[in-house]
A and B are shown apart, each in its own frame.
Chain A
Amino acid sequence: MALANTETLSDHDSAAAEHMLRNALAVKLRIVMLVFGTGAAAANVVTMADELCEKTQLPTGNLRHVVWVPKMMPAVSAILAPIVGPTVPRVAVLTMDGTLATTIPEGAPVDRIILEQAFVDGGL
C-alpha cells in the first residue's frame, strides 16, 4: 500500500537515514509523527497515521507528516534520543517547532482515534 504522507528511514544505512530525517524535520509548519519499530503492529500504526494525514492537505502542503523509524540507527538516535528520551516509544509527535508534544508507549493500545488525538496534541 502506498504511503503518500510517510517517509521510511533506512534500516541499514545510517547516513542515509540521518539525511532523510534531517530533511523531514527541516520542513516548516508541519507536525511530524514518528513511528518506531518493525513488524505488523508498527506497519499498522504507520498505515493509520498516514491516512490521518489526508485530512490536513493545504495549498502550502500537508500539515501532518509521518516518519517511520524501523531501526534506531546511530546517527538517527543521535538526533532523536535528546528529543524522545532514552526509552523509545511506539509513537512520538513533534510540534511545528520540533519539540516533543506527546508519546504513545510501546505496548499501549493504538487506534485511529488515539493517533488523531496525538496529532492534535502536536498542534493539529
Chain B
Amino acid sequence: MTRLRTAAAVLLLLSATADSRAQNVFDFITLTANGRTLPPIAGHALEVDIDSAIAINWRTPQLLAAVAQREGVVPGDSPLLVRLQLLSTAVGAFIETQEKFIALRAISTALLAAQNANNQAEVARLTASFRTAVQEYSAVENRGLAPIGRFRTTDPQLYGALEAAIKDDAATVRVLQDYLRRASDELAQKLTADRALQVLVTANLVDSGGRTMPLHLDGYDAIGTGDPVPFARFQLQLDDRTVREFEAAKAFVPLVSNGAARIRASIAELQTALERLPDTLKSSDLAARLEKLATDLSATGRTDLQPLVNDIRQIIDAVTALRMLPALVQGGALADPMAIAQIAGRLTDAIRIVDTLANDVPARAQALATNLQTQLAQATPELRTAAKDTLDFVVSTLTQGPNLRALVDELRKIAAAVGLTGDVAQAADATSRQARDIAPGRSLDTSLDLATISGERHPGDIVNLTATVRRGAGGDLVTIFQGRQSIRIEKYGWYSETRGALLFVQPAGTLTRNVSFQPAPAIGYYWRYGAKNKPGLNHELALGIGATLTLLDFDDEHDMELGVAVGVTFLHDLFWAGAGRNLQAQKNYYYLGINPLALTGLFRR
C-alpha cells in the first residue's frame, strides 16, 4: 500500500512540478474569500466558509518577471525588471497602508468613546493600541516610499505623477497600478513575441469519500454551475452522499458475509491483463534505457537540457510505478471490510497511474523527442541518435493503447466489485479545460463561487486548486511553473447532516435465532459543531451526536424490523457506536459500525 501510494504521490508530484527547481506558482496568486485575503500556509490547507466566493487573482507582473528571469529573456538587472519590482513593492505597500489606516481609525473611534466616558483604564489601553497601530502604518508606508524615492532620478514623469497624488493613498495606488500595468504589458509583449505563454487554473472538489468533482472557473473551462444555494444548516433530507454511503454499506453486506470471491476473480483477470502488456513495459529495460538517456544528457553539462532531463525522469517514474501494480493491488487480505476498502482506495491511484501512462506520457515523450533534436543540434551524432531511438521506443511501447486500456478496464471491474464504480471511474476521467494566453492588457484572474457548485458540498470537503504556467502549444508544451493549493470548506457553528453506514448490530438479550453482530446498512441523522480553524476537532475527531435507523432481522415472525437508536460518530466520521431498540422484535441492541466511503476516502485524499 505504502509503495503504491508513494508511487502515485511521485507521479502526482511530478506532474504537478515539472521541474524540481520550480517556484510554487501560488507565489504569484492571491486568494481571497469574501474579500478576506487567505495567506498561504506551506503544506496546509486554507479554510473558508462553505458559502464563500473565492477570488483567484494573479500577480501578473511578478509572474512575468519570474518567467523572464527563469528563461533569461530579460536580464535580472534590466531597467524594466527593476522598475517592475519597485512598482510591485510600492503598490503592495500602499494598498496595505489603506488597510492599516482603517484599523487605526477603528482604534481612534474606540479611544474617543473611552475619552468621552472618562474611562481612564480603557483610555490607557487604547492609547497603547493606538501607538502600535501608528507604528504599523508608518512601517508599511515606509516600505512604499522607499521605491518611490528611486524614481526621482530614474523616471521624473512617474515621480511627478506620484508627487501630485501622494496626499491621497488611494490616488497613489492608482498611479502606481497604472504604471505597473504599463511595465507589465511591456514585459508580456517581450515574453510572448515568439511563443505563446499560457496559464491554466483548475479546481476540483474532493469529498470525504475521495470523490472528485470538477469545479467551474470562469475563463478556464466550460464546467456547468447551478443557481446559488446557501448550505442548509439543518439538513433533514437524504442527500446524494448519504445515499451513496448507504448503497456502499449494502454492497458490503455480502462481502463481509460470504467472502470476496468476486474480487478475487476480478484480480485474477487483472493479472491476465497485466500479462498481456508488452514485456518491455513490465521489465526494467524501458526504465533503464531512459535512465541512461537522462544520465548521458546530464553528462553534457548543459544546464539548458536540465528541464528535458527532468521530463525524462518523470517518464521513468511513471514506468516504474506501473511495474509495482500487480503486487500492490493484490496485497492484503480480502476477507475483511478494512482490506476491501483499502483496495478501493488503491484502485483510484492505480487507474491514475495507468491513465497517465496511456494518455500523457506518449505525448510528453513525443514532444521531448522533438525538443531534444533541436537542442542537441550541436551535440554528438551518437547522443542525438540514442536520444531519438530511446524516445521513439517509449512512444511505440506506450501507444499500444489496447493493452493499457484493457488494464484500466480490469481495474474498474474490481472497483465495480466493491460497489464503487462511479467515483473511481470519475476520478480517472479528464475534464476539458482551457488555458488562457498571457497577453498585454489581458487579465488572468478568475473566481470560484462555492454556492453555485452544481452538486453537493459538505463541511470538510477539500477544494484543490492547481495552476500551471506553460510555453508552447499542442504537443510542444513546456511547463514553467506549477503548483497546488488545497482549501478546506467549513460550516461554522452547529449544523446537522445525514450519513450512511454499515452497522454490526448485537442484540442485548437472547433471541430464538443465533444473531451475532448482524451487518445492517443504516441511515443516521447527526448534529455536529464546526469550529474555526480546528480541522483536527472538526474532521479527525469529528464527533457527531444523533440517531440511526436501520433494517434488522432478529426473528422470523416479522417481515420488517426497524431499529431506532441513538449514537455517536467519531474519527473521520468513520466509526459509529450506539444503542437502540428493534421496534418489531421488541429487543434492545447495541451496535458498532463503519462508514465504508469515509474509510476509502481516508486512503484516497
Contacts and interface: CB of A to CB of B under 8 A. Distances in A.
Pairing of A with B: yes
Interface of A: 29, 51-52, 54-55, 58-60, 63, 96, 111-113, 116-117, 120, 123-124
Interface stretch (B8-16, B133-141, B220-228): B133-141
Contact of B167 (A59, A60, A112, A117): A112
Contacts of A96: 131, 134
Nearest to A63: B134
Contacts of A112: 163-164, 166-167
B138 A117 contact: no
Contacts of B131: 29, 96
B257 interface: no
Contacts of A113: 145, 148-149, 152, 159, 162-163, 166
B145 A116 contact: yes
Contact of A52 (B109, B111, B142, B166): B166
Interface on chain B toward A: helix, strand, loop, or mixed SS?
helix
A52 B165 CA distance: 10
Contacts of A54: 167
Cβ-closest 5 pairs across A and B: A58-B108, A59-B112, A60-B108, A59-B108, A51-B167
A96 B132 CA distance: 12
Contacts of A116: 141, 145, 166-167
A1 to B, nearest CB: 14
Contacts of B169: 55
B110 to A, nearest CB: 9
A58 B137 CA distance: 14
A63 B163 CA distance: 21
B134 A120 contact: no
Nearest to A122: B138
Contacts of A111: 163
A60 to B, nearest CB: 5
A120 B142 contact: yes
Nearest to B146: A117
B134 A123 contact: yes
Interface of B: 104-105, 108-109, 111-112, 115, 127, 130-131, 134-135, 137-138, 141-142, 145, 148-149, 152, 159, 162-164, 166-169
B145 A120 contact: yes
Contacts of A52: 166-167
Given A63-B134, A113-B149, A120-B141, A55 B167 contact: yes
Given A58-B104, A58-B105, A113-B159, A124 B167 contact: no
A60 B129 CA distance: 14
A8 B130 CA distance: 28
27 contacts: A29-B131, A51-B167, A54-B167, A55-B168, A55-B169, A58-B104, A59-B105, A59-B111, A60-B108, A60-B115, A63-B134, A96-B131, A112-B164, A112-B166, A112-B167, A113-B148, A113-B149, A113-B159, A113-B162, A116-B141, A116-B166, A116-B167, A120-B138, A120-B142, A124-B134, A124-B138, A124-B141
Nearest to B139: A120
A30 to B, nearest CB: 11
Contacts of B163: 111-113
Nearest to B126: A60
Given A55-B167, A112-B167, A124 B162 contact: no
Given A60-B108, A112-B166, 8 more contacts: A29-B127, A29-B131, A51-B167, A59-B108, A60-B130, A113-B152, A117-B145, A120-B138
A44 to B, nearest CB: 13
B166 A60 contact: no
A81 B179 CA distance: 44
A60 B131 CA distance: 13
Contacts of A124: 134, 137-138, 141
Nearest to A57: B105
Nearest to B135: A123
Nearest to B108: A58
Nearest to A111: B163
Among B115, B134, B145, B166, the one with the most A-chain Cβ atoms within 10 Å of its Cβ is B166
B593 to A, nearest CB: 59
A60 B134 contact: no
Contacts of A29: 127, 130-131
A13 to B, nearest CB: 32
A69 to B, nearest CB: 23
Contacts of B109: 59
B108 A123 contact: no
Nearest to B167: A51
A76 B169 CA distance: 34
A111 B164 CA distance: 9
A123 B145 contact: no
A29 B135 CA distance: 12
A63 B162 CA distance: 22
Contacts of A59: 105, 108-109, 111-112
A37 B447 CA distance: 56
A52 B163 CA distance: 11
Contacts of B111: 59-60
Contacts of B108: 58-60
Contacts of A60: 108, 111-112, 115, 130
